[in-house]
Amino acid sequence: MDDRPAAQEPRFGVVVPSSGALAQPESIVAVARRADEAGFDSIWAIDHIVIPASGVYVFGEDVYEQLVVLAHLAAVTHRVRLGTSVMVVPYRNPIVAAKMLATIDALSGGRLILGVGSGWLEEEFDALGAEYASRGAATDEALDTFVSLWTRRDEGQSARFGDIRFAPTPVQEPHPPILIGGNSRRAIRRAVELGQGWHPTTVLSEAELVTLGDHLQTSWQAAGRRGKPEIALGIPVFVTDTPPDPEETWLGARMVAGPPEEVVAELRRLAGFVTHFVIHVVAHTREQLFAQLDLIARDVLPGARLRS
């Protein structure tokens, strides 16, 4: 099992606008290129296939397919890693998904970060004909299939492949890092057993994040895993001289908001246990999106990267 040590300084990614009102091809590409040029470490895309009518107010109607987006962005960027935040594993045939992910890693020169989850939107499962009740077991089996195919094991613990050939395999050895999404102890257990880290969001309170983060570290050591697990925190960021109400959220998640120096201070504080920040840029218009992206790149990242 692959064990990657945590980085010595936090890394920073940005979620591209592949869903909602700002989801236009030119904006997705422009944000990715700007992130690549401005010193972000990664770009990330979300995963929905269809949006139930009850969820349109949150996600919008336009949602570009996650893996196609990342494959496209691999061709128009040079340096940034390409992350799934998160890929809902039960939505896709696991062998087909393993092939698509390996292809992205190969074509990008080894830049894929695989954030995964078992999903939560039951109506979407129903529309896709996927079993909601067994999504956890399906996720575990699929992850085992991914690793089996990528590392050329003849068979996984839960899947039999017979006499087949699977190539290309990912560039990254032994395979791209797998970060487990989810807000439960089951997600932590999956991270310890099958992943290289955890990908939570600030939908959790800070107290919950710290408690589960401590549980991850303890479980990691108890399982004999070497190094430290990655913790990639999804977090909305809004740079403003007039901060919003402290209780205001962005897509249900708590924001880090305020003048640049306050945002820097908060991110540096959280970097005590976070290895990678996955930033959701808070914006309502295309102009605001790019203005915020520039502010974060210029006024937040340099200071937030420093370790005290």
Neighbours of 252 (CB within 10 A): 10
Q: Specify the length of the chain in residues.
A: 308
Q: For the beta carbon of residue 92, count every other beta carbon within 10 angstroms.
A: 20
Confidence label for 67 from pLDDT (cuts 50, 70 and 90): very high
**Whole-angstrom Cα distance, residue 98 to residue 104?**
10
Looking at residue 60, its pLDDT comes to 80
DSSP code string of 131-166: -STTHHHHHHHHHHHHHHHHTT-SB-SS-B--S---
Question: No. of H helices and E strands in the chain?
Answer: 11, 11
**pLDDT confidence band for 227 (50 / 70 / 90):** very high
pLDDT (tens digit per residue) in 70-92: 999 999 999 999 999 999 999 99
Q: Among all chains, which residue has been given the structure tokens 């840029």?
A: 281
Output the six-digit token pair for 71. 């494959």
Element (H, E) at 290: helix 286-295
Whether the CA torsion 168, 170, 172, 174 is positive or negative: it is negative
Residue 160 pLDDT = 62
How far apart CA 34 and CA 64 sit, in angstroms, is: 19
Average pLDDT over residues 166-192: 95
Q: What does the pLDDT read at residue 2?
A: 47
> How far are the Cα atoms of 182, 238, 278, 287 from residue 284, in angstroms, in the given order?
27, 11, 19, 9
Q: What is the mean pLDDT of the chain?
A: 92
Average pLDDT over residues 201-225: 95
Per-residue pLDDT for 26 more than 90?
Answer: yes
Dihedral pair phi/psi, residue 306, rounded to 5°: -70, 140
In tens, the pLDDT along 247-296 reads 889 988 999 999 999 999 999 999 999 999 999 999 999 999 999 999 99
56, pLDDT greater than 90: no
Q: Tens of pLDDT along 142-160?
A: 999 999 999 976 544 444 6
- d(CA 14, CA 6) in angstroms, rounded, equals 19
